C-alpha cells in the first residue's frame, strides 16, 4: 500500500476544513485532551497537522523515497483544476514539429479539416517512433498516413510472383551460381554503378523502378558510362497490363524490356506517377538500354549472396508498416508482411557488430530510410529475402 505524502497532506487539510464545520461536543473528547483555544476545540486538528507534517518531512528526507520535482508538480496539479492534459508548451511544440515536417516535404492538404486529421495521425506515428528511440524523425515522409493507407498505397507487387514462382520459364533460371569463395562484404554504392535514388510517388510502380534500376546498374558495369531508362515506359507499355493501379511484377517488367526493344531515356519518356497511354513508336525505337536476357536467382540467401556479388539484383520482399515506414539506418529483422508485396534492389551485403545484413535500395526518395537505402537482417530469411531475385544481361551493342 502506498500513497503520496502530498496527497496525504491534502486529504488531511480537507478533513480539517470539514472538521471546522462540524458541531463541537459540549465536553472535551477523551484522549485528545481538553485544552480549548478561543472556545473551540483545537487538539484534534493540531495533532493531525503535526502528524502530517512529521510524515511529510520523514518521507522527504528518506534517502530512497525522498521528495522529487514531480512531487512539487503534483501539488500544483492537485490544487489547480486548470491544468488538465498536455501543457500548452507540449501542444505548441508538437504543432510546430508538424508544420516543420509539412514544409520539409512540400505537402499540401485540401482543407483545414484534412490538415487537422493528418496532424492527429502525425502525432500518433511520431509517438510510435519516439518509443523506438528513433532520431531525426522528421526525415520520414509517411508520418501522416494510417496503416490502412500504407497498405493501400505502398504495397505494389502483385500476387504473380507468389503464385507462379515455381512455374517460371526454365530458360531464365540461373543454375551456375557458386556460393563458395565469395567476398565477405560488397557495397555497389561504393563502385559508382548505381543510378540516383528516385521516388515512385503514389503510383504502385516499385516493380518498374526495381527492374529499371537493375538494368541501369548492369549497363554502367558493362559500358562504364551511365544511361537512365524510363520507368513510365514500362508502366504504360508492358503487354501484361500492369500499371499504377494494379501494381506489377518483375517478370512482366523484364519480359517487356527484353521483348519490347529496350528502354527509352527517362527524359525522353518522363515519369508522371500515373498510368498513361503507351507513347512508344516501335518503328522509331532508339533505346538507351537494351537487354538480351534476364535470369531468376535460385531460392536461398546463399544463392542471392552469390548473385549480388556479381551485380545488383532486383528482389521481392514481404514488407510491413514497421519496415517500410519506420526503419532507417539500423538493421531490421521483423516484423514482416505475410507475402511478397514490394520490390527493391539488393545492392550489397556485409556484417557489423549487431549482425549480418543486406543493403536494399528503395524507390521512395532520399528522405526514406538511410538516404533511400535500408539494411535488412541476413541469414534468417527476413521478410522473405532470398525467395526470388532477378537480374538482366545487357545486350552487346557490337
Q: How many beta carbons lie within 10 A of that of residue 218, not counting itself?
A: 21
Tell me which of 243, 244, 362, 383 is the catalytic residue: 362
Tell me which of 125, 238, 249, 342 is the catalytic residue: 342
User: Residue 35: what pLDDT?
Assistant: 30
The verdict on whether 362 is a catalytic residue reads yes
| DSSP H or E segment with residue 314 | strand 313-317
Is 171 in a helix, a strand, or coil? helix
Q: Which residue has the higher pLDDT, 242 or 74?
A: 242
> So where are the chain's domains?
5-79, 88-144, 157-394
The three three-digit cell numbers of residue 324, written as one number: 517500410
pLDDT bin (cut points 50, 70, 90) of residue 32 is very low
For 334-380, write each residue's pLDDT tens digit: 777 778 889 999 999 999 999 999 999 999 898 788 899 999 999 99
User: Residue 56: what pLDDT?
Assistant: 45
Tell me which of 206, 215, 336, 383 is the catalytic residue: 206
The three three-digit cell numbers of residue 84, written as one number: 488538465
For 256-279, write each residue's pLDDT tens digit: 999 999 999 999 999 999 999 999
Q: Which fold is adopted by the domain 157-394?
A: Cathepsin B; Chain A (3.90.70)
For 65-83, write each residue's pLDDT tens digit: 444 333 334 333 333 333 2
Q: How many beta carbons lie within 10 A of that of residue 81, not counting itself?
A: 7
Model-level pTM? 0.68
CA distances from 184 to 56, 178, 181, 357 (A): 64, 14, 9, 11
Please say whether the beta carbons of 201 and 273 come within 8 A: yes
The answer to whether the Cα torsion of 296, 240, 222, 232 is positive or negative is negative
The verdict on whether 15 is a catalytic residue reads no
CA distances from 336 to 321, 325, 332, 347 (A): 8, 12, 10, 20
Q: How many beta carbons lie within 10 A of that of residue 304, not counting itself?
A: 25
For 92-143, write each residue's pLDDT tens digit: 899 999 999 999 999 999 999 999 999 999 998 888 777 655 667 787 778 8
The verdict on whether 134 is a catalytic residue reads no
Query: What is the Cα–Cα distance from 237 to 254, expressed in whole angstroms?
Result: 12
Please say whether the beta carbons of 228 and 254 come within 8 A: no
Out of 7-11, 44-48, 122-126, 340-344, the most confident range is 340-344
For 381-395, write each residue's pLDDT tens digit: 999 999 989 999 998
| DSSP H or E segment with residue 350 | strand 342-352
pLDDT for 3 beyond 50: no
User: Residue 133: what pLDDT?
Assistant: 53
For 153-212, write each residue's pLDDT tens digit: 667 888 655 555 544 454 555 556 666 789 999 999 999 999 999 999 889 999 999 999
pLDDT bin (cut points 50, 70, 90) of residue 63 is very low
Amino acid at each position: 500500500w502506498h500513497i503520496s505524502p502530498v496527497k496525504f497532506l491534502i486529504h488531511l487539510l480537507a478533513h480539517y476544513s470539514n472538521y471546522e464545520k462540524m458541531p463541537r461536543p459540549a465536553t472535551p473528547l477523551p484522549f485528545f485532551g481538553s485544552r480549548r483555544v478561543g472556545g473551540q476545540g483545537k487538539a484534534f486538528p493540531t495533532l493531525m497537522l503535526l502528524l502530517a507534517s512529521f510524515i511529510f518531512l520523514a518521507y522527504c528526507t528518506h534517502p530512497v523515497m525522498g521528495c522529487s520535482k514531480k512531487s512539487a508538480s503534483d501539488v500544483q496539479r492537485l490544487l489547480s483544476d486548470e491544468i488538465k492534459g498536455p501543457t500548452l508548451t507540449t501542444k505548441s511544440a508538437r504543432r510546430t514539429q508538424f508544420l516543420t515536417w509539412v514544409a520539409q516535404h512540400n505537402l499540401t492538404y485540401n482543407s483545414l479539416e484534412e490538415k487537422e486529421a493528418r496532424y492527429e495521425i502525425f502525432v500518433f506515428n511520431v509517438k510510435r517512433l519516439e518509443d523506438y528511440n528513433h532520431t531525426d524523425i522528421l526525415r520520414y515522409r509517411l508520418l501522416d498516413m494510417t496503416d490502412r493507407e500504407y497498405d493501400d498505397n505502398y504495397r505494389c507487387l502483385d500476387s504473380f510472383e507468389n503464385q507462379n514462382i515455381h512455374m517460371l520459364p526454365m530458360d531464365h533460371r540461373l543454375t551456375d551460381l557458386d556460393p563458395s569463395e565469395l567476398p565477405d562484404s560488397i557495397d555497389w554504392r561504393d563502385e559508382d554503378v548505381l543510378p540516383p535514388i528516385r521516388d515512385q510517388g503514389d503510383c504502385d510502380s516499385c516493380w518498374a523502378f526495381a527492374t529499371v534500376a537493375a538494368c541501369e546498374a548492369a549497363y554502367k558495369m558493362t559500358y562504364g558510362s551511365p544511361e537512365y531508362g524510363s520507368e513510365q515506359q514500362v508502366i504504360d507499355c508492358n503487354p501484361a497490363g500492369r500499371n499504377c493501379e494494379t501494381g506489377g511484377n518483375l517478370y512482366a517488367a523484364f519480359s517487356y524490356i527484353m521483348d519490347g526493344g529496350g528502354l527509352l531515356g527517362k527524359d525522353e519518356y518522363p515519369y508522371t506517377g500515373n498510368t498513361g497511354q503507351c507513347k512508344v513508336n516501335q518503328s522509331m525505337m532508339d533505346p538507351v538500354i537494351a537487354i538480351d536476357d534476364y535470369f531468376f536467382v535460385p531460392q536461398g540467401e546463399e544463392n542471392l549472396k552469390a548473385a549480388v556479388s556479381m551485380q545488383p539484383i532486383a528482389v521481392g520482399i514481404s514488407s510491413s508498416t514497421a519496415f517500410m515506414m519506420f526503419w532507417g539506418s539500423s538493421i531490421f529483422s521483423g516484423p514482416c508482411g505475410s507475402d511478397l508485396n514490394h520490390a527493391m534492389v539488393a545492392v550489397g551485403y556485409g556484417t557489423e557488430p549487431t549482425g549480418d545484413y543486406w543493403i536494399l535500395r528503395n524507390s521512395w526518395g532520399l528522405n526514406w530510410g538511410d538516404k533511400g537505402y535500408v539494411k535488412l537482417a541476413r541469414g534468417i530469411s527476413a521478410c522473405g529475402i532470398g525467395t526470388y531475385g532477378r537480374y538482366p544481361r545487357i545486350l552487346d551493342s557490337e
